[in-house]
Amino acid sequence: MSIEALNYDDRGLVAVIAQDAETGEVRMMAYADPVAVQETLRTGVAHFHSRRRNKLWKKGESSGNILRVRSVWVDCDGDTLIYMVDPEGPSCHTGAETCFFRRLDAEGGLVQHEQDSSAPTLLRLERTLLERKSSDAGTSYTKSLLDGGASKVDEKVREEAAELGRALINESDQRVTSEAGDVLYHLLVGLVLREVPLRALLAELSGRFGTSGHREKASRSRRGLS
């Protein structure tokens, strides 16, 4: 299948979902025509077709909040794409990280909560920890760890890692899961303490297998697509 052979609708468009290549967060949804897809592949930066202005739209052309595109995925029937992206800045024109920050409740009413987001679990956890860090309503467990500093977090990470190790050796799957959760939680507290983004950790991991962002970029340059 080529760009021309994608399954365009009667307006000549395919739907495009932009998803964070590291965190898995869905950032936005828009439409593309063949020119927009071609420009995206050529430049490595997300382009769409603006239905309102009826023209090619480089995401972030005025805000600077571009989406660097690592890869473009095509769904089974060719009418929807995913741009796997490295976002620079918030993706929504409202200033939100993602356009999907409002939820329908069971009755169909629109709700919006700080704590409630469409983000994947680890990202939601990171955002919750960051919020605890900046709040002065200081009685949460997270807050007490952060207030204890690196030595406190060091102590807990070692303790939880030892518990996970013991569970791996001779405890139930349920215990392994629970202890692994404790390790991940404390690990994230450590990252938040040091102000290292979860995204950087995920990028480090994805760089260790398959195609890393850097390697992909390099190979894109070699193919003249960057």
Q: Considering the complex, state which of residue 56 and residue 92 has its C-beta at the smaller distance from Zn ion.
A: 92
Dist CA 147 CA 26 (whole Å): 33
Q: Does 46 bind Zn ion (CB under 5 A)?
A: no
Determine the interface stretch with Zn ion among 5-13, 99-107, 108-116, 155-163 (rule: CB under 5 A).
99-107
CB of 28 to Zn ion, least distance (A): 6
Q: Considering the complex, state which of residue 32 and residue 99 has its C-beta at the smaller distance from Zn ion.
A: 99
CB of 26 to Zn ion, least distance (A): 11
Token readout for 63 is 């805000």
CB of 110 to Zn ion, least distance (A): 15
CB of 29 to Zn ion, least distance (A): 9
Dist CA 181 CA 62 (whole Å): 41
Q: Does 191 bind Zn ion (CB under 5 A)?
A: no
Contacts with Zn ion by CB under 5 A: the residue count is 2
Report whether 86 contacts 21 (CB < 8 A).
yes
Q: Considering the complex, state which of residue 46 and residue 99 has its C-beta at the smaller distance from Zn ion.
A: 99
Q: Does 99 bind Zn ion (CB under 5 A)?
A: yes
Q: Does 202 bind Zn ion (CB under 5 A)?
A: no
Determine the interface stretch with Zn ion among 2-10, 61-69, 91-99, 109-117 (rule: CB under 5 A).
91-99
Q: Does 92 bind Zn ion (CB under 5 A)?
A: yes
Tell me if residue 52 falls in helix, strand or coil. coil
Report whether 85 contacts 70 (CB < 8 A).
yes
Token readout for 222 is 């070699």
Q: Does 26 bind Zn ion (CB under 5 A)?
A: no
Q: Considering the complex, state which of residue 8 and residue 100 has its C-beta at the smaller distance from Zn ion.
A: 100
In the 8-state DSSP scheme, what is residue 135? -
In the 8-state DSSP scheme, what is residue 45? B
User: Checking DSSP bridges between strand 26-32 and strand 80-87, what pairing results, if any?
Assistant: unpaired
Q: Does 13 bind Zn ion (CB under 5 A)?
A: no
E strands within the chain? 14-20, 26-32, 47-50, 55-58, 67-74, 80-87, 103-104, 110-111
CB of 120 to Zn ion, least distance (A): 18
Beta bridge partners of 130: none
CB of 203 to Zn ion, least distance (A): 24
C-alpha closest to that of 16 among 89, 67, 88: 67
Q: Which residues contact 172 (CB under 8 A, 6 or more apart)?
A: none
- Interface with Zn ion by CB under 5 A: which residues? 92, 99
